Chain A
């Protein structure tokens, strides 16, 4: 059986991510040994400028944010396709360029449509 390829550089990234988690956990908890902890009711209610909280904080958001998120996903996926294209751009030639222009143009049509439908309009 062939030896499994382990990309060592990314192993280092993994180690640093684990280090980040440990650093966060340790710094959050290390103060426990020498800091005060005197919780009481008034301190532990949600902060609303000194008043008692009036209603549940998890409110509804405008449907617009949903449309914006969809638009974001569209362009995000676009950039996923464009990145490999961009990195090999000098080897692809004119055909790939024209194809990519068609791709961007199709997305721009959707973008213009969203703009005309006032998805990007916040004020009435």
Chain B
């Protein structure tokens, strides 16, 4: 692969535009979905149907004060949102949008995304510790406890798909589903995956690290202005990446009738994101010990049994 300076600049601009545009759309979509599910209209004032509301909010957030508490560990406090944000650009790279539209084809793309996805939790833990605030620290500790409980089922889930395909490359995995989507072979795994990524992206009903009715605002209690918005930029980008991974792993990537591949990929990605938003405005938050027990006692054995059965069936 020949990489020129111009090419790199082009990719940078493309990926940054994707991240920015995605965050703008998702914040707006979330408020609209929330509004309509509660028989409200959501944002309506700025632009047609409030589509420019997020930009207005962005300008407001940039001009807000960045309050750093006296007690806070200042370097860690400022590092935390950056740590959360850094991996999202790199994690967009191996996602294939169609047979030809992909930033770079990596032969270990799947592993890269999973590894970079963990940095989000590290950022949350840093925020909790650096803030030196009880609620923030509890939020950070909860984020770690939940990622420990749910990372293993996620890893086993992904491993089963790798075993079926024999490749770490996301493009190979999508090509292998040309005729039948993996979700038809592995419906249980798909459900396990959706649950784990809802949790990994700290979305309700698993938003324990924020839990505004219990912990004020959890890990970002002390964050204001840009610190706060970087966390949310990261969260919405992780949603996009997680939904993109679900599309490639289970829903056949870009395969679909009539429309071009990129359109199908985007339709599938935003359908999964809509599903995650639907969860948020439908389910109440579960209790944290219920969630941990569910992860360790149900999801882990379930995904392991599924893995063993798949291995057995493939061997026959």
Contact surface of A with B, Cβ cutoff 8 Å: 8-13, 15-17, 19-21, 23-25, 27-28, 30-32, 34-39, 41, 43-49, 53, 57-59, 61, 65, 68-69, 71-72, 75-76, 79, 82-83, 86-90, 94, 97, 100-101, 104, 108, 111, 115, 120-123
Contact = CB atoms under 8 A, between A and B. Distances in A.
27 contacts: A9-B105, A12-B103, A13-B106, A13-B112, A15-B8, A15-B12, A16-B12, A19-B12, A24-B81, A28-B78, A28-B227, A35-B65, A46-B71, A46-B72, A46-B132, A46-B133, A57-B71, A58-B132, A69-B148, A79-B152, A90-B166, A101-B308, A101-B311, A120-B297, A121-B293, A122-B289, A123-B289
B36 interface: no
B87 interface: yes
A79 B159 contact: yes
Interface in B55-93: 62-72, 78, 81-82, 85-90, 93
B308 A44 contact: no
Contact of B155 (A19, A79, A90, A97): A79
B135 A47 contact: yes
Nearest to A120: B296
The 8 A-B pairs at the shortest CB distance, nearest first, are namely: A24-B82, A20-B86, A122-B289, A86-B163, A72-B148, A16-B90, A57-B134, A79-B155
Interface in B276-303: 289, 292-293, 296-297, 300
Interface of B: 1, 3, 8, 11-12, 15-16, 62-72, 78, 81-82, 85-90, 93, 103-106, 111-112, 129, 131-137, 141, 145, 148-149, 151-152, 155-156, 159-160, 162-163, 166-168, 216, 221-222, 225-227, 229-230, 289, 292-293, 296-297, 300, 304, 308, 311-312, 314-315
Nearest to B2: A8
Contact of A24 (B86, B133, B141): B86
A76 B170 CA distance: 22
Contacts of A83: 111, 159, 162
Given A31-B62, A79-B155, A86-B159, A122 B311 contact: no
Contacts of A57: 71, 132-134, 136-137
Nearest to A32: B66
B221 to A, nearest CB: 5
Chain A residues touching B, majority SS: helix
A85 B221 CA distance: 44
Given A41-B70, A97-B311, 14 more contacts: A9-B1, A9-B104, A11-B3, A16-B15, A20-B90, A24-B81, A35-B64, A47-B69, A47-B221, A71-B296, A86-B160, A87-B162, A87-B163, A122-B293
A12 B3 contact: yes
A20 B67 contact: no
A100 B311 contact: yes
A20 B88 contact: yes
Contacts of B15: 16
